[in-house]
Amino acid sequence: MRVDGWAAVSMQPLRKLQAPPLRALRFGRDDKSKRQYAFVSLMICGLLPLAAYGQTSTGAQDREYSIQVMQKLADPVLTALDQNKLKQTMPVEGSTDRAAYTHLEALGRLLAGMAPWLELGPDQSDEGQLREHYIRMAVTGIAHATDPKSPDFMNFNRGSQPLVDAAFLSLALLRAPKQLWGNLTAEQRTNVAAALKSTRVIHPFESNWLLFSAVIEAALWEFTGECEMQPIETAVNRHMEWYKGDGVYGDGERFHWDYYNSFVIHPLLLEVLRVCAEKQHPLGKLYDGELVRAQRYAAIEERLIAPDGTFPVIGRSSAYRFGAFQVLSEMAWMHRLPSSLDSGAVRAALTAVVRKTMEAPGTFDAHGWLEIGAVGHQPSIGEGYISTGSLYLCSVGLLQLGLPPGDPFWTAPARPWTQKRIWAGEDIPADHAIPN
């Protein structure tokens, strides 16, 4: 919750809640009591970050804050798409040629992160009713995006980029089969399947891109019973060849210092292998081994979070912000955190990262759309393939919201994460690589 910002403690849509900037409160040098009064008033109203007054947030507060962030991300995209006006209203920061791709980027990436929370379904609680609202908008948005007659019908097969974001949309459907796929009409499902199949004209590069074709085919296999197996087999076999050890894959034959093991490789590989196991395909036998590798990568990610919630911004696609922690978030959602990690500490660490990135001035434009940057508005950090829609991959750092409010992840007391413990001088066990 920012003093100049967009969040308050209500569950209402964030765009309706405006906190006055603290900088607008003018005090004289001798007005100490007035400054203290204003500070306490803002604190009580929930308009100051918890760190500002030295308290540790509860799991309920962390969850509420994370939902507010999700709302802030979702509202511009889904509201416009619900009205069939996304192409009309969404800005396109970045190279002008990205206008052909940015809308599918926004939808697929946003829903890939929202899906586990949506899959909890509606209920009578305030949060459950909020979910019902976003489920409806998400389903309507998917329908509009894949209807050839819709003003917001999206590009699934011109150029190379649509393969990427059709894959993230497929990932969203696989993560929320009941609430997303299950709420589509028969005609809408036909349109979605046709849109996904149309990506087959795009040939993936010999890199993590192989997994985009694979997860699209896995979704078609899951929902229609038919698929092309070669993209799945090629993607899995190549990544087994490209494994470098200690939970890390090469992006192609070479290793790169970036977060693509989290942005793409582990999450998509896990989902493809899960479907293979469900369908009793021999590749499904690789799932357990890949899960161990993903758990190790999650442990590494947790150790990358500094005591203040910052993390190393390194490698390409840094504008995806806290989406870099998708694997740690996913292992929490799956109840597969390594035994060395405490769930209360992981929750506190992930929330700290989200705060650091989302509360930076310039993260959103005046109309609530994300702007290019890792910490605030930093256009130079965006590669040529980065545009407004690309930025919504940050949502995949919120997969933990797929755990219900009563889950131990949310009820456990907040604890210091690894780097906090080390830099406080605590004597903790040594870290070790995994053997496979």
Same domain, yes or no: 40 and 64? no
The DSSP 8-state label assigned to residue 362 in this structure reads T
Boundary of a domain, candidates 38, 55, 72? 55
Locate tokens 């995994």: which residue?
434
Same domain, yes or no: 304 and 390? yes
Boundary of a domain, candidates 55, 70, 92? 55
Report DSSP letters for 122-177, one per residue. --SSHHHHHHHHHHHHHHHHHHHHH-TTSTT---SSSSSTHHHHHHHHHHHHHH-T
In a domain, 314, yes or no: yes
Q: What pTM value is reported for the model?
A: 0.88
Q: Which domain holds residue 192?
A: 60-423
User: 197-227, pLDDT tens digit by residue?
Assistant: 999 999 999 999 999 999 999 999 999 999 9
pLDDT(310) > 70: yes
C-alpha to C-alpha distance for 141 and 23, rounded to whole angstroms: 38
Same domain, yes or no: 115 and 128? yes
Nearest to 25 by CA among 9, 7, 8, 37: 37
C-alpha to C-alpha distance for 405 and 410, rounded to whole angstroms: 6
Same domain, yes or no: 29 and 123? no
pLDDT(170) > 80: yes
Residue 123 belongs to domain with CATH number: 1.50.10
Range 77-106 average pLDDT: 96
In a domain, 431, yes or no: no
Same domain, yes or no: 24 and 89? no
The count of structural domains within the chain is 2
**Would you place residue 56 in the very low, low, confident or very high pLDDT band (cuts 50, 70, 90)?**
confident
Same domain, yes or no: 219 and 202? yes
CB 396 within 8 A of CB 323: yes
Same domain, yes or no: 357 and 227? yes
Range 406-415 average pLDDT: 97
In a domain, 27, yes or no: yes
C-alpha to C-alpha distance for 421 and 275, rounded to whole angstroms: 39
Report DSSP letters for 225-268, one per residue. S---HHHHHHHHHHHHHTEEETTEE-SSSS--SSSHIIIIIHHH
Boundary of a domain, candidates 37, 55, 73? 55
CB 416 within 8 A of CB 347: no
More confident residue, 17 or 322: 322
Same domain, yes or no: 6 and 77? no
Range 56-73 average pLDDT: 96
CB 136 within 8 A of CB 74: no
In a domain, 429, yes or no: no
Same domain, yes or no: 338 and 313? yes
Give the tokens for residue 264.
């793409």
Same domain, yes or no: 129 and 148? yes
Give the tokens for residue 435.
């053997």
State the Cα angle at 406 between 402 and 407, rounded to 5°: 60
User: 272-306, pLDDT tens digit by residue?
Assistant: 999 999 999 999 999 999 999 999 999 999 999 99
C-alpha to C-alpha distance for 111 and 388, rounded to whole angstroms: 15
Same domain, yes or no: 316 and 179? yes
CB 407 within 8 A of CB 344: no
In a domain, 311, yes or no: yes
Radius of gyration of the chain (CA): 21
Same domain, yes or no: 33 and 137? no
C-alpha to C-alpha distance for 160 and 389, rounded to whole angstroms: 16
In a domain, 417, yes or no: yes
In a domain, 348, yes or no: yes
Range 61-77 average pLDDT: 98
Locate tokens 């597969």: which residue?
336
In a domain, 433, yes or no: no
Helices of type H across 251-396: 260, 266-278, 287-303, 326-333, 343-358
